[in-house]
Amino acid sequence: MTCNSQTKLISSTLKKNGFMQTVNENKKIGRKERERLFKRREILLAAVDLFARNGFENTKLDDIAEASEFGKGTLYNYFHNKEEIYFASIKQIFDDYCEMHERILNNTETLKEYFEETTKSLIQYCVNNKSSFIMLVRFRTRIMDRQKLEGFNLLTGFYEQVNQMLTKRIKQAIKNNEIRKVDSESLILLYKSMIIPYLHLNFIANDNLEIDVEKETKFILSVLFNGILIK
């Protein structure tokens, strides 16, 4: 349908921007290059964990080197500096998110369906990838320092594209009398604030909280869709 063709377009746009770049996609690379990418990924794996636990400023290159079982100098064969490791870590997470988002856009028709799917998937992802989830939380704060930080533009640029697709779907839903007439941008922001920050507050309030994905999904959606008042 229209939606599909839209998302196909989006998907390829994202790919062009490099957000979807993965190891598997390009079949032409040789063994050497594959090994290199593999090791790079090992470093990022260690980095995500540490950045999540301690934040950017309190993560030392020594820590990353030790955790990834490489020498400290070796890291500089894969990244120019600490910040680049950080960005690559974030990008990895964004790529995952992107992939998920694309799939959901392709597989849903109504806005309600979209919200249901994306909420559940995102919460599931956070539960499965605790470190990535915490990095996302930290990133939202850290992004405020963006005047100092190159590379943020690239990442925020990505946000805008996702938002554009979502905006279209919201406007469609309003036209279809599926939802009330609301400012689409505000709705996007409010919806976003109801997932990651909500899980974050849960995380703070209860350190070892085992999140019940179904229950939380249902709760968030019930408020988002119907509110709390009894009419």
Partner DNA sequence: CATGAATGAGGTTTCATTCAT
Partner DNA sequence: AATGAATGAAACCTCATTCAT
Question: What x/- string results for residues 145 through 184 when contact with a second copy is judged by CB under 8 A?
Answer: x--x-------x--x-----------------xxxx-xx-
Q: Is residue 52 within 8 Å of residue 130, measured between CB atoms?
A: yes
Nearer to a second copy, 30 or 227 (CB): 227
Binding residues for DNA restricted to 10-39, rule: CB under 7 A:
32, 36, 39
Residues for the chain: how many in total?
231
Closest CA to 211 of 122, 146, 95: 122
Segment near DNA (CB under 7 A); pick from 21-29, 77-85, 96-104, 188-196: 77-85
Cβ-based burial of 35 (10 A; exposed 0-12, middle 13-18, buried ≥19): exposed
Write down the least CB distance from residue 24 to a second copy, Å. Answer: 30
Asked if 89 interacts with DNA (CB under 7 A), we say: no
Q: Is residue 46 within 8 Å of residue 131, measured between CB atoms?
A: no
Find the binder of a second copy among 18, 34, 193, 214 (CB under 8 A): 193
Binding site partner of 219, from DNA, a second copy, none, Cβ cut-off 5-8 A by kind: a second copy
Q: In the Cβ-directed half-sphere of 14, how many Cα atoms lie within 13 Å?
A: 31
Asked if 200 interacts with DNA (CB under 7 A), we say: no
DSSP structure string for 65-102: HHHHTS-HHHHHHH-SSHHHHHHHHHHHHHHHHHHHHH
Q: Give the torsion sign (CA, 174, 179, 181, 183).
A: negative
Asked if 192 interacts with a second copy (CB under 8 A), we say: yes
Asked if 77 interacts with DNA (CB under 7 A), we say: yes
Find the binder of DNA among 34, 72, 146, 171 (CB under 7 A): 72
Instruction: Give the integer Cα–Cα distance in Å for 47 and 69.
Output: 12
Helix (H, G, I), strand (E, B) or coil at 177: coil
Q: Would you tell me which residues interact with a second copy (CB under 8 A)? A: 54-55, 57-58, 112, 134, 137-138, 140-145, 148, 156, 159, 177-180, 182-183, 185-187, 189-190, 192-194, 196-198, 200-205, 216, 219-220, 222-231
